Structure 1
């Protein structure tokens, strides 16, 4: 993980936010390569789940909603994490991420022990559990800490001006259900998709960009008819579509992906089912994407909170009902980290160790690098620049690199995941013998006519 974090900063993928002021915990900035990679991931997601489907439409709701939204949704009362404070160091920890081990003794000999979360400790046990910060039993009892980011709207500085940055994008979809339904002429089943920023005042942001205080989500709320036997097929279809997206569109390694079915107390009180797609990060297997059957909880809550009907009239059955929904939800930042971890590779080329990123061409920040064999030969530079500009106009983010030996330029391109390196040499300009295209993963090289470069890249990147 340290190598990945170092690579991200060194090559302009991710920087600590406010870096010149020693950073700000839980916030990150995306550099030239990172912002391009993030954009590509969002574009592929939108194309897969919205553009290529007739039954899903898009939405871009505001980050700040009427505060009553969060009262109705339950976030003001129930959106919290259990925390404990160290009374000596004043540091704060999530109680469900700290563990202790009550022991059973036989005389002076330990015969068994079991690790438990601090949140489950009795008051007597809390007096014995050492703080991670002080090493002494200085922890407070667990208590709820609301994760909402509070702000103010308007000139007044009183309770009437209190508002909140949204902790999720889903509620913007629910409160716009009728607006979208009336303007898009969709019929159930149909979905509303949204990408956007969300904010959570995490107690302990950790693991690089995996858990941060400002992040971006991509979600669909797919509305379906009510009924005990209705939701399961839709839930399964969205699990299949989500797996297909992660493996075949984004290019994650299948051996790093698993499923986690929520059961019992892991299941939200309003949910009928929830299955997470997990990913094996260097710091452990964690949730990457969730596919939940949320029932009609949200629309019902907003109907009651607003006094406005969010019922759907089914023209075929002549019935009115509040729809249920399936929610595939994915964090952009977590996905980006999973993509980098999945793509990170090491091998040996010509007896030298090579670190490189095996990004799928579709999501690679830079699609190709153009390499004139020599930078001081005008005839090579002219052809290389012309090809570079043609690819730019075609819409590809490409790089021009004329500095250093070609082998060294290959290594620079490999490290940031550029799939194709295109070399213009003297045969290109003197014998019209085309250009050399080197594949990043295999390092194999082929020779093709220069006029075939765009069709070749189009096939490799876009699939057509």
Structure 2
């Protein structure tokens, strides 16, 4: 085959540069005042020699970046604020605080464009690894694009009547690594009691309720025809209230609890004979503690909302 560079294509190593070249367009269209940010999520590519550790190091990945434009002189303050906000984002999704750390880059690690960079790292099984980097890119990118293109990429401050090139604080994170860290942090293997008074291994995925693919499982105690219609009624009630639900009546109730534990379902609602014969109440079981509470069916929806809110 004949090789030439007529159709040579480059894969972007980051999403940031598209934001920088469109800075003036966004500024004109939105009439924003400093400080403001432009966020983007998209594919990025790296020429990794060795890939590995599941999703941690890949040649193609999903990147989240914010270019936050600030006035020179306010950059250090905004840098620290974004570090705190990014850390809070990870802990807010359920990652344990003691599994995270913030590490400042040493002088020999800094990128050519960076005044200062801090990494948020997670304690993976193979050691600490980067989840996000928050860099102070100063005015490097806007100035470089402006010089090479001849297009002015500065900002006019109405109050001070001065033109200047903004500094940029850049939080940058991988979606894949965040997903991987969340799974590592949520996965547990523990001993749990059985109905026979013994113990068995329980696999549980302690996902934050906001991240759980199924919020509520509806489980009749058995496939008994007296229970199934009521369980279907409870399922319809829960779905109509906006919960992502799963109905399951296959195998024993214990096995069904374990299945829901493994996929991270926070709450399981059990319909039993007491429900249909006596009190019209159901049992809500909490995934992490396995604690069970009895709730009347008319009060079920607010009870589920409250328990999901509490996590």
Give the TM-score of the pair, scaled to structure 2. Answer: 0.91
216, 233, 250: which one aligns with 2:77: 233
Change (3 A) 1:364 1:425: same
Look up the match of 2:178.
335
Alignment of 1:356 onto 2:204: yes
Deviation (angstroms), 1:162: 2.5
Look up the match of 1:312.
155
Look up the match of 1:273.
116
Give unmatched runs, 5+ long, in structure 1: 1-156
In the aligned structure 1, how far is the partner of 2:191 from the partner of 2:103?
Answer: 36
Deviation (angstroms), 1:267: 0.8
231, 254, 260: which one aligns with 2:97: 254
Give unmatched runs, 5+ long, in structure 2: 194-198
Do the aligned residues in 2 keep the contact of 1:292 with 1:328 (CA within 8 Å)? yes
**Aligned positions of 1:158-177 closer than 5 A:** 159-177=5-23
For each residue in 1:441-462, what CA deviation from the matched residue of structure 2 results, as whole angstroms up to 9, or x when unmatched? 1100001122333223333335
Alignment of 1:346 onto 2:189: yes
Look up the match of 2:196.
none
CA-based RMSD: 2.0
For each residue in 1:155-206, what CA deviation from the matched residue of structure 2 results, as whole angstroms up to 9, or x when unmatched? xx96453232322122222122122222223210011112222222321111
In the aligned structure 2, how far is the partner of 1:215 from the partner of 1:356?
Answer: 27
Do the aligned residues in 2 keep the contact of 1:361 with 1:460 (CA within 8 Å)? no
In the aligned structure 2, how far is the partner of 1:433 from the partner of 1:386?
Answer: 12
Name the SS for the 2:227 alignment partner.
Answer: helix
252, 277, 286: which one aligns with 1:439: 286
For each residue in 1:13-57, what CA deviation from the matched residue of structure 2 results, as whole angstroms up to 9, or x when unmatched? xxxxxxxxxxxxxxxxxxxxxxxxxxxxxxxxxxxxxxxxxxxxx
Number of aligned pairs? 304
Look up the match of 1:366.
214
In the aligned structure 1, how far is the partner of 2:19 from the partner of 2:307?
Answer: 36
Look up the match of 1:197.
43
In the aligned structure 2, how far is the partner of 1:259 from the partner of 1:195?
Answer: 23
Look up the match of 1:426.
273
Deviation (angstroms), 1:394: 4.1
Give the TM-score of the pair, scaled to structure 1. Answer: 0.62
Change (3 A) 1:409 1:302: same
In the aligned structure 2, how far is the partner of 1:196 from the partner of 1:452?
Answer: 43
Change (3 A) 1:456 1:308: farther
Change (3 A) 1:326 1:416: same
In the aligned structure 1, how far is the partner of 2:268 from the partner of 2:139?
Answer: 52
In the aligned structure 2, how far is the partner of 1:183 from the partner of 1:267?
Answer: 34
For each residue in 1:366-406, what CA deviation from the matched residue of structure 2 results, as whole angstroms up to 9, or x when unmatched? 212110122241x4323323333443444433211110110
